Amino acid sequence: MNVLHVMCTNFLSGSTNYVLTLAAWQIKTGHQVYIITDDATLETSAKLIPLPISDRSYPQRVKNIFFIRKFILAHGIHLVHAHSRASSWVSYFATLGLKTPLVSTIHGRQQLHLSVKLFDIYGDRVISICPHLTRHLVEEVGMKPEKIHQIPNGADFSSVLELLQSTSNPTPYRDILLIGRLNGRKGVIAAQITTIVFPQILEKYADVRLFLIGGGYDELPLHYRVAINDLQKRFPDRIILTGFVNDVPKRMAAAHAIIGAGRVGIGALALQKPLFAIGEACYHGLINKENLQQAINSNYGDILPCKNFPAFDWQQFQRDLDAFLAGLCPMPEKCISHQVINFYNIEEVFAQIHRVYEKAIAHRLWPRHIPILMYHKTPAQPIDCSHSIYVTRSTIGKHLQLIRWKRLQPITFSDYLAYVKGELPLQTAPKRPIILTFDDGYRDNYENLLPLMERYGYKGVIFLLGDSSITYNYWDADRGYHRAALMDKAQRLAFAKAGWEIGAHTMTHPDLTQLSEEEAFAEIVNSKLQLEKEINKPVQVFAYPFGFYNEKVKKMVQQAGFDLAVATDSGGMHIEEDRFRIFRTSVFPRDGWFQMFKKTSWWYRKYYRWKRKI
């Protein structure tokens, strides 16, 4: 997938680290990554393109919009990922009318500017990094909940063990690091901690030093800078301003305690360091098992769902820090580190983000329902079949004529996945796709259907049993219904050679809901393995026999490695609503022009749901 990240870097922030970490992982897993940003000196293996995204003057915004739009088209970008309101604003207008969607990760509370109310500037999908931010976006910004995906910051913890084993602190001091930008509200809180709390702490504990790590010091109000300068003279070499540094993880690993929020909090806890979670929104205190979830909800103090932040309680912080330095507070439990590492693990976060990417692409390409038709037998002549699960060759021919007349383009589920995963250029995606599916693998599919479909240049999806030794539809015939022959191996392989997609339909066509979990999983996973061996291609889609499934069965299908699963008359309005419960429209022997016009229309799914509720 070709991914374009757009972000502001007029000052280093947690969102910058977020992008660089995500981009590194995307490149590692084979994606092509570009970053358009203010700072072309960032250390990354992604391709950096300098552009003054932070310049919010309208002339520059217009230039940014046209530059990004041209870049998207020139480089075949599958998805744009924005990381600030300014970058979302220009990216929204740059992607208008294109097949390339926009996803925005929101890292903090949003100001309700007029543009937010007039335009959907955050794009097709929104990623919220914590629960409090999600509440803010729904209750104050007015976003639709279904548009928001709550995914935490991703972090690469591969160096944590190495840092813990190799880092030592040979100094006689207990170093406390206050990490974060020193401008805005967060800077004022940092200044209050330094000038109000630490004079008494440094006086009482001669072995304590305070490091202020972060940029924006020059933006602090003058009286705070004067006070900090006086303290540095009063406590020489014990209040140290470092500005931005590149070795923050190493410094944290050697520190005695950390003060900070957001990604600083995540890193500190992963390194098993005592963390005083303080952000611009609230103070959680020293993090332990009891208050960890509260800290996660606010991104370690940075975000509250309401706009009225409480005043920083520096007196409580002073009491907490004093008790910690006096040895009255226990060190954080190691289980907190494990919990944090598991929760923010970049591999899991990366997978969740790319599922959001796929949803955004799918809905941008095909915002309406894709018609998916379900056939079974395709005899030359009508048959005595009480199930009515057949359509004659001549009737199917009429259906294909209608499909051509409506300018629908048959695709497979593999085609669908290739587009939404960014494996095919979005510009080649059909505007009006349809998916034709055929269950069980009857011999008359080979004799009557395959030549007819080849005549039209169409391909479909055929669901086969993994056990190719089954020669007839025993699940119906042995109960007195019409008996029909199934294809042999050579006939099955002919569909794969003709470009059809082969899907799995279990090994032996049982009702999976009536089997034990072990039996059901064996039917599912073995059908995939056997068919892949037979056709020498991946099998990505599964069909539930009889359309019967439950949540356990759905989970087994996912665990078996399938990407999609089709039902019969149940499922969502869109494939992405539930990839393992995809709605299909049944086709019957007497379905003529009028019925098929409805069933091949984008509005039929809504009509069907409305009709069933009456």
Interval 541-595: pLDDT, tens: 999 999 999 999 999 999 999 999 999 888 889 999 999 999 999 999 999 999 9
Interval 312-342: pLDDT, tens: 888 999 999 999 999 887 777 788 999 999 9
In this structure, what CATH number is given to the domain that contains residue 271? 3.40.50.2000
Do 92 and 20 lie in a common domain? Answer: yes
Q: What is the pLDDT of residue 39?
A: 83
pLDDT band, very low/low/confident/very high, at 222 (cuts 50, 70, 90)? very high
169, pLDDT greater than 80: no
Do 551 and 417 lie in a common domain? Answer: yes
Interval 513-546: pLDDT, tens: 999 999 999 999 999 999 999 999 999 999 999 9
Chain-wide mean pLDDT for the chain?
92
pLDDT band, very low/low/confident/very high, at 41 (cuts 50, 70, 90)? confident
pLDDT band, very low/low/confident/very high, at 167 (cuts 50, 70, 90)? low
Helical (H) or strand (E) element with 28? helix 14-28
Closest alpha carbon to 191 in 182, 203, 200 = 182
525 within some domain: yes
Do 54 and 76 lie in a common domain? Answer: yes
> Would the CA dihedral through 136, 142, 146, 147 be positive or negative?
negative
Closest alpha carbon to 552 in 518, 578, 517 = 517
Helix, strand, coil in percent for the chain, rounding step 5:
45, 15, 40
Residue 570 CB burial class (10 angstroms; 0-12, 13-18, ≥19): middle
> What share of the chain in percent tops pLDDT 90?
78
The mean per-residue pLDDT over the stretch 591-607 comes to 93
Spell out where 440-577 has E strands. Answer: 461-464, 501-504, 541-543, 564-566
Do 74 and 142 lie in a common domain? Answer: yes
Interval 234-265: pLDDT, tens: 999 999 999 888 788 889 998 999 999 999 99
pLDDT band, very low/low/confident/very high, at 115 (cuts 50, 70, 90)? low
The mean per-residue pLDDT over the stretch 116-120 comes to 73
Q: What is the pLDDT of residue 613?
A: 74
Q: Give the predicted TM-score (pTM) of the model.
A: 0.90
The mean per-residue pLDDT over the stretch 195-214 comes to 94
Tell me how many domains the chain contains: 3
> Would the CA dihedral through 389, 393, 398, 401 be positive or negative?
positive
Which residues are paired to 251 by β-bridges?
Answer: none
Do 583 and 454 lie in a common domain? Answer: yes
Do 229 and 310 lie in a common domain? Answer: yes
The mean per-residue pLDDT over the stretch 359-375 comes to 96
pLDDT band, very low/low/confident/very high, at 14 (cuts 50, 70, 90)? confident
Do 164 and 112 lie in a common domain? Answer: no
Q: What is the pLDDT of residue 333?
A: 77
* Structural domain boundaries, residue 180: 160-344
